[in-house]
Structure 1
Amino acid sequence: MNSQSLAAEFATRTSGFWSSMTREALADWVVRADAEPQPFGALPSAVPRLPGLIRAINDADAKSLREVALGIAGIVIRTTVPAAAESAGQHWLLTPYANGAERWFRLTVGMCWAAEVSYFDDGRITTAFRMAESPISRALTDGTLRKEDLDKFGIAKRTTDLRTFAEDAIVYHCPDIDGLLWFLDQPAVGEAIRLMNARLVASGQFAWHRSYDPDLAEEAWAAAEALSLPDPLDRPIEAKYQGRHTPGAFPEWQAVNAEAHEAARDEHDRLLVQLMTKLNEVGIKPFQPTSPRADLAWRTPDGRLHVVEARSILGPTEADRLRLGLGQVLDYRHRLDTSGRPQAYLLVSTLDDRQWHAICAEVDVRLLVATEQQTWNLL
């Protein structure tokens, strides 16, 4: 199937979805083999949820199977639901269910369920997708998808009770995470899921507007981002970003003031989310080094390492906080200087004393002020 024939199919359908995407654009999106997830910033209301989900997903002592399953659901939404941010609550919703030891999230697109992510008390996560069968059949015929590989991962085909598009609908079930990751990486599978979801939104029917839970949708959107932050390959000093590392000691005013401690932590997390969003906009995925455990790092296309220390300005004086932050990021830069000097950054929310720009520049540290994003140089 090519985009022209698919656009012709969509031309016969009337749907409110066409206010979000044209028929031609939807057809191109379905058949594009390199379809990327919708950007994190497309749903701004999800941004404040990211720090807590990063901690839940990546903290080995507090890893929540629920958040991992929710992140998988979010990945499916952001990669296989067309114009997902714009059509949330209008053409799709996410719903939680529970039955004994099994709990699951169901993605409903148009009039029927499109995907389910189940998680169990024994730690298993399974997934099921309703998709168009034609791209799968075509790939199995031309050899770009092999039945032996499906069998190796235990991925099984099931029948579906879907009446609409019944002539081209099938369900596939993945029994574990390894199978799921392999399955979603197959171009024919991505096209098959996108095609089904595109047809469902093009049908224009969605009866569950009042059942839409924006909080759950935002949480899934952010969980997908937290789950997607990568482990850079072959770089032993780097690991998946794990949220804010709490130092062993805070300044005395924070140690004895729980409210101040929490306010500083919240501001710190908001700063990092703001920076991560900015990096994602230019196609860069940040991570957190393991030793030393700096707040955030990334690599630019030239391979250079960049490292940042974020500092809350809540405290006795602005100068005290900036001095601490500058000293810390210089420490990180020195310890990470193993194959070319890293570019160091100090990230703060506001700045009154403008001399600090010159102070940081003297030691080749870029000072990023949250209220001055237009001046940020991250490359």
Structure 2
Amino acid sequence: MTTESVPTGLWSADDVEELTEMLAARRSRLWQLTQPADLAAWVFADPEPAPLDSAPAALDGHWADGLDEPQRAAWALAGWVARMTVPDAAPTAGRHWLLSRVNEGHGPLLRLTVGVLETLGVYESGEEVWLRVAGAPVVHAMDAGAADLEEWGRRGIDMQEDRTKTLAEEKLLLTCPDIDTALWLLRQPPVMAAARMLNAWVAAGPFPFQSRYRAEVAGRAWQAAETLLAGAPPAETGARGFDREYAGPAVPADLPAQRSFDAAAYRAGVSEHDRLCRALINHLTAEGVRVGAGLHGVPVDLAWRDADGRQFIAEVKSLVGDNEIEQLRLGLGQVLEYRHRLAARGVVATPVLFVSRCTDRSWPAICRDNGVILLQGQGDSEWMAALTKVHRPGAAPIRPSSPD
């Protein structure tokens, strides 16, 4: 845990300094392992998990022995949260935090206790997850437009002011209907910072529960978390210019049978979308550029950084039949929305609209006027030239061009 990385986006050096002062006011045995300034910088840094090879305990057998699928998912989430949000998690296990398995409400519950506070509960049935976090980072993100509460509501996430005695007026209780929703929520940078901030505070306080610590429980969850860290770990969200490796979409075998729904056209559109994505990925890969999907929780189709470190995002639109104008309009709106959402997170990105074709000669000018690069599926010889002509934010606006 170091202070080498400077906070970016929503957080500033002032945030680190303020939290450092708060933590430094606490006398704690935690300072034998780290210092308040290092801990404060860790709270706001890009999420990174504690490494596997420092697990709190060795296990006899495999961590998943005797667990069904929902239980495996619950143990994985509990271990992931511990490794991502508890400061210096491995050396402080049993000294500043514990993971316990108890029976409550819906059945067996995995509960993370840090200091004197229970900060996470995951039912093994997968039916509910609750999380206590510091309120300040979430409120700040709301004010900056970086937390979409309408989306939280659509996903069934409930947010209430938490009234447990510790920091009674400064923390929130977030409840999710299932494990996938909890993972989605925790991967939002403000929520991760909020979880880390609360755990940093309580980990520096007293820990009266040493006698309840079971190393094998923490060790099992620690190992289980690797199922979530494999592939594209949340720790690298945005670090390479994208969240995850691109994967082609799956088309359900059974599609709706309404008369207004054209299953053949839908499948053709999905196939064309995937073809376009892979064509651009292959083209950029040949230029030495790695391409993935998603960026800082924003669901962009493709994302990458060029050799100069400039961030690009692309909305890909397949054109099947006579839907060209509809798709162009939809794609432009989406990529402008994504650019705005990333800007609210402090990420400057150049938007690209990538379509199968464009026969309306007004559209290149429409895109230029909005600072968007328009690429067409059949013009790969022109892609790199177009991508190097980046319209930088703050530059003089491009005047509308007259259609030919």
TM-score (norm 2): 0.52
Deviation at 1:45, TM superposition (A): 3.4
Report the 3-state secondary structure (helix = DSSP H, G, I; strand = E; otherwise coil) of the residue aligned with 2:224: helix
Task: Specify which of 19, 42, 48 is matched with residue 54 of structure 2.
Answer: 42
Task: Specify which of 130, 148, 171 is matched with residue 169 of structure 1.
Answer: 171
Pairs within 5 Å for 1:243-282: none
Deviation at 1:125, TM superposition (A): 3.6
* Partner in structure 1 of residue 114 of structure 2: 109
* Partner in structure 1 of residue 141 of structure 2: 139
* Partner in structure 2 of residue 11 of structure 1: 24
Report the 3-state secondary structure (helix = DSSP H, G, I; strand = E; otherwise coil) of the residue aligned with 1:13: coil
* Partner in structure 1 of residue 73 of structure 2: 68
User: Does the Cα contact within 8 Å between 2:57 and 2:218 map onto a contact in 1?
Assistant: no
Report the 3-state secondary structure (helix = DSSP H, G, I; strand = E; otherwise coil) of the residue aligned with 1:97: strand
Report the 3-state secondary structure (helix = DSSP H, G, I; strand = E; otherwise coil) of the residue aligned with 1:130: strand
Pair 1:26-2:27 in alignment: no
User: Does the Cα contact within 8 Å between 1:68 and 1:227 map onto a contact in 2?
Assistant: no
Q: Which has the higher helix share?
A: 1
Structure-1 separation of matches of 2:213 and 2:70: 23
Deviations 1:14-69 (A, max 9, x none): 0111111111110100111x1201111122734x56x723677xxxxx74422221
Report the 3-state secondary structure (helix = DSSP H, G, I; strand = E; otherwise coil) of the residue aligned with 1:230: coil
Q: 1:104 to 1:90 in 2, by over 3 A?
A: same
* Partner in structure 2 of residue 219 of structure 1: 220
Deviation at 1:192, TM superposition (A): 0.4
Q: 1:234 to 1:105 in 2, by over 3 A?
A: same
RMSD (Å) for aligned C-alpha atoms: 2.2
Pair 1:185-2:187 in alignment: yes
Deviations 1:256-297 (A, max 9, x none): xxxxxxxxxxxxxxxxxxxxxxxxxxxxxxxxxxxxxxxxxx
Structure-2 separation of matches of 1:73 and 1:35: 16
Q: 1:162 to 1:31 in 2, by over 3 A?
A: same
Structure-1 separation of matches of 2:64 and 2:226: 8
User: Does the Cα contact within 8 Å between 1:54 and 1:226 map onto a contact in 2?
Assistant: no
Report the 3-state secondary structure (helix = DSSP H, G, I; strand = E; otherwise coil) of the residue aligned with 2:175: strand
Equivalent AA in structure 2 for residue 17 of structure 1? L
Equivalent AA in structure 2 for residue 81 of structure 1? V
Q: 1:88 to 1:139 in 2, by over 3 A?
A: same
Structure-2 separation of matches of 1:133 and 1:219: 30
User: Does the Cα contact within 8 Å between 2:64 and 2:224 map onto a contact in 1?
Assistant: yes
User: Does the Cα contact within 8 Å between 1:94 and 1:212 map onto a contact in 2?
Assistant: yes
Report the 3-state secondary structure (helix = DSSP H, G, I; strand = E; otherwise coil) of the residue aligned with 2:231: coil
User: Does the Cα contact within 8 Å between 1:153 and 1:178 map onto a contact in 2?
Assistant: no
- Between the aligned residues of both structures, percent identity stands at 33
Structure-1 separation of matches of 2:161 and 2:19: 24
Report the 3-state secondary structure (helix = DSSP H, G, I; strand = E; otherwise coil) of the residue aligned with 1:165: coil
Structure-2 separation of matches of 1:234 and 1:185: 18
User: Does the Cα contact within 8 Å between 1:54 and 1:227 map onto a contact in 2?
Assistant: no
User: How many residues were matched structurally?
Assistant: 224
User: Does the Cα contact within 8 Å between 1:134 and 1:168 map onto a contact in 2?
Assistant: yes
Structure-2 separation of matches of 1:143 and 1:182: 18
Report the 3-state secondary structure (helix = DSSP H, G, I; strand = E; otherwise coil) of the residue aligned with 1:69: helix
